[in-house]
């Protein structure tokens, strides 16, 4: 059995989980999320816990077993606590600011970069050099943070660019005269 897949998921008091066929819906204090489960996986609610079962021991079923359980767990955590990623912007003159439903970033190009904020995501800019991405969908939060980071990935010589808070940028030594 999959070590991840066989663990039941405890449903918190303020969360409502419903299963209709292969669609799983989770509703909590921060919002609603839903997903369609793989047809081979069986999802049940037993004694206030979500249990995922697989039909066979084939490699595909084993991998889907743990994946399905993790996705449901992430939905429950998202509607209770939510997810966030912090980005830092380094570079002279590099800054970000919110303009309505978009994020405007000055990253040393001839024009500012405008990023349209998708629905379900909240962006905060407490300082011009820091962007916080918040939301209830773990996948969407990571995707938006990655898209923002890809506008100017950190370069290894001076460290300029956008990086995650706590991310270690491997630095290179510049050219030496000698």
At CB < 8 A and 24+ separation, what contacts does 47-55 make? 48/10, 48/11, 49/8, 49/9, 49/10, 49/11, 50/8, 50/9, 50/11, 50/17, 50/76, 51/8, 51/9, 52/5, 54/2, 54/5
Mean pLDDT is highest, among 110-114, 157-161, 172-176, for: 110-114
**42 half-sphere exposure, CB direction, 13 A CA radius:** 6
Q: Are residues 114 and 87 in the same domain?
A: yes
Residue 176: pLDDT band with limits 50, 70, 90: confident
The domain in which residue 51 lies consists of 9-80
Please check the confidence at residue 1 and state whether its pLDDT lies above 60.
no
Please identify, among 80, 101, 132, the residue that sits at the C-terminal boundary of a domain.
80
Residue 110 is predicted with a pLDDT of 95
Please identify, among 30, 60, 80, the residue that sits at the C-terminal boundary of a domain.
80
106 falls within a domain: yes
Residue 2 is predicted with a pLDDT of 58
**pTM score over 0.75:** yes
CATH number at residue 93: 3.90.930.12
Q: Are residues 76 and 106 in the same domain?
A: no
């Amino acid at each position: 059995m999959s070590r991840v897949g066989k663990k039941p998921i405890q449903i918190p008091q303020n969360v409502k989980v419903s299963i209709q066929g292969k669609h799983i819906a989770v509703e909590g204090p921060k919002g609603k999320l839903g997903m369609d489960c793989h047809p081979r996986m069986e999802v049940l609610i037993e004694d206030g816990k979500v249990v995922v079962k697989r039909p066979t021991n084939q490699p595909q079923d084993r991998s889907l077993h743990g994946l399905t359980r993790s996705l449901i767990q992430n939905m429950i955590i998202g509607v209770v606590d939510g997810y966030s990623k912090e980005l830092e912007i380094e570079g002279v003159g590099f800054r970000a600011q919110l303009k309505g439903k978009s994020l405007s970033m000055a990253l040393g190009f001839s024009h500012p970069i405008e990023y349209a904020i998708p629905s379900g995501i909240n962006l905060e800019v407490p300082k011009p050099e820091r962007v916080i991405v918040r939301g209830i969908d773990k996948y969407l939060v990571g995707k938006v943070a990655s898209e923002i980071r890809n506008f100017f990935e950190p370069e290894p010589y001076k460290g300029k660019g956008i990086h995650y808070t706590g991310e270690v940028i491997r630095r290179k030594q510049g050219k030496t005269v000698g």
